[in-house]
């Protein structure tokens, strides 16, 4: 079976939102993201105004806050109890009274995985082994695939593994039979995950051939936790904010579609970006916040991945870009 079969029924990925930045403002001396910034929950304010807390975004717009270094932000020692409580409120956000139920997710955000038993020589039942293997290997194969997907976002292919199914019900001694997946580390991981798999017992041993196929999903996989590092680069936070502000029409469009259904929708999306050494935003994921409408989040992250910032000084970097949408309900 070819890889084209993996995509059946998963839907086409939504088109990326082009968000070309305007020309950056005049260059200033680069500083680390954590330097020279107001209180971490502060949103953009006029230069003469204090910035103790972010003003609510207009109901149909986005407020782009000042980016800050990964690991800093509102958790730093300077944040007070009131500011932390307000930030937590924004991170949770809310929906309007009587808002319609959110639709079921569309597409296929996670990698497309297919596990098939293509041959069994012996008394073991092929469909029984296949049923167990599909349930047990799905998450394991995605974790194997994760580092390879970071190296090559288009990585896909098939790994065919031959293993022994023991009388007692274990897959043992797996070996590689054929491969089209072009990442040796991922291939080795796939083969290793077959070993020790529990399968139904039988009156004698069997030889089992499994086909393990994988392809990208509609959204990129986040890196493993131990690879989410701040980086060595430096970039003036105002230049980063200017690039996101230039993309405001695309960001507002992400929000407007859901707000038309739910006028009371509001909240914060903390976008964790990775800025490559050449200024490209090649990674954008939600961190800290959980916006109440995942459709808005997915759209915003796709828009962020299309941005280009000024090149950082000294290498790549990760940072948080805080975005606030809508306005919370007024207290009675």
Which residue, chain included where needed, has tokens 């950056």? 24
Residues 266 and 317 in one domain: yes
Q: Is residue 269 part of a domain?
A: yes
Where does residue 9 rank: exposed (0-12), middle (13-18), buried (19+ CB within 10 A)? exposed
Residue 185, domain extent: 110-215
Contact 265, 259 (CB under 8 A): yes
Residues 6+ positions from 244 with CB-CB distance below 8 Å: 64, 67, 251, 304, 307, 321, 323
Contact 207, 175 (CB under 8 A): no
Q: Is residue 52 part of a domain?
A: no
Domains identified in the chain, total number:
2
Q: What angle do CA 256, 86, 83 make, to 5 degrees?
A: 135
Closest by CA position to 282, among listed 255, 312, 237, 245 = 312
Per-residue pLDDT of the chain (332 residues; tens, 9 = 90+): 333 333 333 334 434 434 334 444 434 334 344 333 333 333 333 333 343 344 444 545 789 999 998 877 654 334 678 888 888 899 999 999 989 999 888 888 899 999 999 999 999 999 999 999 999 999 999 999 999 999 999 999 999 999 999 999 999 999 999 999 999 999 999 999 999 999 999 999 999 999 999 999 999 999 888 889 999 999 999 999 999 999 999 999 999 989 999 999 999 999 999 999 999 999 999 999 999 999 999 999 999 998 999 999 999 999 999 999 999 987 65
* Helices 248-261 & 237-246 angle (0-180, nearest 10): 60
Give the sign of the dihedral formed by CA 294, CA 220, CA 303, CA 65. positive
Residues 98 and 114 in one domain: no
Residues 186 and 279 in one domain: no
Phi and psi at 9, nearest 5°, equal: 80, 0
Which residue, chain included where needed, has tokens 């782009």? 64
Give 264's DSSP letter.
T
Q: Is residue 55 part of a domain?
A: no
Q: Is residue 41 part of a domain?
A: no
Q: Where in 143-250 does DSSP place strands (E)?
A: 157-165, 171-179, 206-215
Domain end among 215, 235, 270 = 215
Helix (H, G, I), strand (E, B) or coil at 124: coil
Residues 277 and 128 in one domain: no
Q: How far apart are CA 194 and CA 160, in angstroms?
A: 11
Residues 132 and 145 in one domain: yes
Q: How far apart are CA 256 and CA 61, in angstroms?
A: 8
Q: Is residue 5 part of a domain?
A: no
Q: Is residue 25 part of a domain?
A: no
Residues 160 and 236 in one domain: no
Indicate whether this model's pTM tops 0.85. Answer: no
Residues 230 and 265 in one domain: yes
b/e burial code for range 246-263 (CB count within 10 A of at least 16 → b): bbbebbbebbeebbeebe
Residues 114 and 96 in one domain: no
- State the CATH number of the domain containing residue 193: 3.30.2420
Closest by CA position to 291, among listed 266, 316, 254 = 266
Residues 89 and 235 in one domain: yes
**9: its two tokens:** 């029924």
Q: How far apart are CA 174 and CA 163, in angstroms?
A: 4
Contact 274, 33 (CB under 8 A): no
Domain end among 180, 215, 250 = 215
Q: How far apart are CA 245 and CA 295, in angstroms?
A: 21
Give the pLDDT score at 272. Answer: 96
> H-helix or E-strand containing 121?
strand 112-121
Residues 118 and 202 in one domain: yes
Q: Is residue 207 part of a domain?
A: yes
Residues 170 and 313 in one domain: no
Residues 117 and 210 in one domain: yes
Which residue, chain included where needed, has tokens 């008394």? 123
Q: How big is the chain by its Cα radius of gyration, in Å?
A: 24
Domain end among 153, 183, 215 = 215
Residues 6+ positions from 160 with CB-CB distance below 8 Å: 118, 176, 177, 178, 179, 209, 210, 211, 212
Q: Is residue 230 part of a domain?
A: yes
């Amino acid at each position: 079976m070819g890889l084209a079969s993996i995509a059946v029924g998963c839907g086409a990925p939504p088109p990326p939102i082009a968000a070309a930045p305007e020309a950056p403002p005049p260059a200033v001396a680069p500083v680390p993201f954590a330097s020279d910034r107001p209180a971490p929950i502060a949103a953009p304010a006029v230069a003469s105004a204090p910035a103790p807390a972010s003003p609510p975004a207009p109901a149909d717009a986005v407020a782009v806050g000042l980016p800050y270094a990964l690991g800093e932000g509102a958790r730093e020692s300077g944040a007070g109890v009131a500011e932390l409580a307000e930030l937590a409120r924004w991170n949770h956000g809310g929906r309007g009274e009587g808002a319609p139920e959110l639709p079921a997710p569309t597409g296929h955000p996670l990698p497309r995985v297919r596990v098939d038993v293509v041959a069994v020589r012996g008394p073991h039942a092929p469909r029984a082994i296949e049923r167990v293997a599909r349930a047990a290997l799905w998450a394991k194969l995605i974790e194997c695939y994760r580092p390879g997907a970071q190296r090559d976002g288009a990585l896909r292919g098939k790994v065919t593994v031959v293993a022994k199914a023991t009388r007692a019900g274990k897959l043992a001694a797996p070996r590689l039979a054929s491969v089209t997946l072009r990442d040796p580390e991922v291939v080795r991981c796939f083969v290793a995950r077959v070993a020790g798999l529990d399968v139904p017992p039988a009156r004698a041993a069997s030889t089992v051939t499994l086909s393990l196929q994988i392809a990208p999903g509609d959204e990129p996989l986040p890196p493993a936790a131990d690879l989410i590092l701040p980086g060595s680069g430096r970039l003036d936070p105002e230049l980063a904010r200017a690039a996101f502000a230039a993309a405001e029409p695309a960001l507002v469009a992400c929000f407007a579609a859901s707000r038309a259904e739910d006028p009371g929708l509001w909240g914060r999306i903390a976008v964790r970006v990775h800025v490559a050494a050449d200024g490209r935003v090649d990674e954008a994921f939600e961190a800290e916040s959980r916006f109440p409408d995942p459709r808005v989040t997915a759209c915003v992250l796709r828009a962020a991945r299309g941005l280009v910032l000024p090149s950082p000084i000294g290498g790549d970097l990760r940072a948080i870009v805080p975005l606030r949408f809508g306005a919370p309900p007024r207290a009675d």
